[in-house]
Amino acid sequence: MLLMIQNEHLCVTVDTLGAEMMSLRSAEGIEYLWQGDSAYWSDRSPLLFPYIGRLTNNSYCYQGKQYPMELHGFASKLEFEPVEQGIDYVILELRSTIVTIARYPFDFTLRVIYALNRNKVEIVYQVENRGSRYMPFAIGGHPGFRVPLIEGEEFTDYELEFTHACKPDRILFTPTVFVSGKQEPSNFEKKLDLRHDLFDDDAIILKNMCREVTLRSKRSHRGVCVSYPDMPYVGFWHLDKTDAPYVCIEPWSSLPSRQDIVEDIACQSDLIHLAPGKSYENQWSITVF
Res 188: pLDDT: 86
Q: For 123-149, how does the pLDDT look when each residue is reduced to its tens digit (9 = 90+)?
A: 999 999 999 999 999 999 999 999 999
Determine the pLDDT at residue 266: 97
∠ CA 280-53-98 to the nearest 5 degrees? 60
Asked if residue 189 has pLDDT above 90, the reply is no
pLDDT of residue 60: 98
Report the pLDDT value the prediction gives residue 29, as an integer from 0 to 100: 96
Q: Which of 118, 126, 78, 84 is nearest to 101 (CA)?
A: 78
> Which tens digit of pLDDT belongs to each residue from 210-251?
999 999 999 999 999 999 999 999 999 999 999 999 999 999
Q: Where does the pLDDT of residue 83 fall: very low under 50, low under 70, confident under 90, or very high at 90 and above?
A: very high
The rounded percent of the chain whose pLDDT value lies above 70 is 100
Answer yes or no: are the C-beta atoms of 283 and 123 closer than 8 Å: yes
Read off the pLDDT band of 255 (50, 70, 90): very high
DSSP reduced 3-state for 50 = coil
pLDDT of the residue at 180:
92
Q: Which domains does the chain have, with CATH numbers?
A: 2-288 (2.70.98.10)
Averaged confidence pLDDT in the chain? 97
- Helices and strands, counts by H and E, the chain: 1, 24
Dmax (CA) of the chain? 57
Task: Supply the DSSP symbol for 8.
Answer: S
Provide the residue count of the chain.
Answer: 289
Q: What is the pLDDT of residues 87-130, one digit of tens each?
A: 999 999 999 999 999 999 999 999 999 999 999 999 999 999 99
Query: pTM surpassing 0.75?
Result: yes
- Distance CA(252)–CA(234), nearest Å, equals 6
pLDDT at residue number 270:
95
Tell me what pLDDT residue 93 has. 98
Is 90 exceeded by the pLDDT of residue 187?
A: no
pLDDT number for residue 195: 97
For 20-60, what is each residue's pLDDT tens digit? 999 999 999 999 999 999 999 999 999 999 999 999 999 99
Give the model's pLDDT for residue 9: 98
Task: Specify the pLDDT at position 82.
Answer: 98
Q: Above 90 in pLDDT, residue 274?
A: yes
pLDDT, residue 63, reads 97
**Given this model, what pLDDT does residue 81 score?**
98
Write the DSSP string, 253-278.
SS--PBTT---BTTT-TTSEEEPTT-
Q: How confident is the model at residue 165 (pLDDT cuts 50, 70, 90)?
A: confident
